[in-house]
Amino acid sequence: MQNLRVIKEKWVGRLMGGLTVFTGLMVLAVALGLYLKARPVLAMKSWGELLFSRAWYPFKGEFGFYPFIMGSLWVTALALLIAIPLCLLAAIYLSEYASKYVRELARPLIDLLAGIPSVVYGVWGVLFIVPLVRNTIAPLLGTTSTGYTTLAGGIVLAIMVFPILIHITWEVLGTVPQEIKEASLALGATPWQTIKYVVVRKSLPGILAAVVLAFSRAFGETMAVLMVAGNVAKAPASVLDPCYPLPALIANNYGEMLSIPLYDSAILLASLILLLVVLLFNILARIVLVRMERRVQ
CB 38 within 8 A of CB 272: yes
**Residue 9 belongs to some domain of the structure:** no
**Residue 184 belongs to some domain of the structure:** yes
**Residue 4 belongs to some domain of the structure:** no
**Residue 77 belongs to some domain of the structure:** yes
Beta bridge partners of 62: 57
**Residue 30 belongs to some domain of the structure:** no
**Residue 261 belongs to some domain of the structure:** yes
**Residue 223 belongs to some domain of the structure:** yes
Here the CATH number for the domain that contains residue 219 is 1.10.3720.10
Count structural domains, the chain: 1
Query: In whole angstroms, what is the distance from residue 157 CA to residue 126 CA?
Result: 13
**Residue 3 belongs to some domain of the structure:** no
Query: In whole angstroms, what is the distance from residue 153 CA to residue 245 CA?
Result: 10
pLDDT tens string, the chain, 297 residues long: the values are 557 777 777 887 788 888 888 887 888 888 888 888 888 888 888 888 888 888 888 878 788 889 999 988 899 899 989 999 999 999 999 988 888 888 888 888 888 888 888 889 989 999 999 999 999 888 888 888 888 999 999 999 999 888 888 988 888 888 888 888 888 888 888 888 888 888 888 888 888 888 888 887 788 777 788 888 888 888 888 888 898 888 888 888 776 665 667 888 888 888 888 888 888 877 877 777 677 666 655
Q: What is the pTM of this model?
A: 0.84
Within 13 Å and on the Cβ side, how many CA atoms surround 273? 26
Domain with 57 in it: 47-296
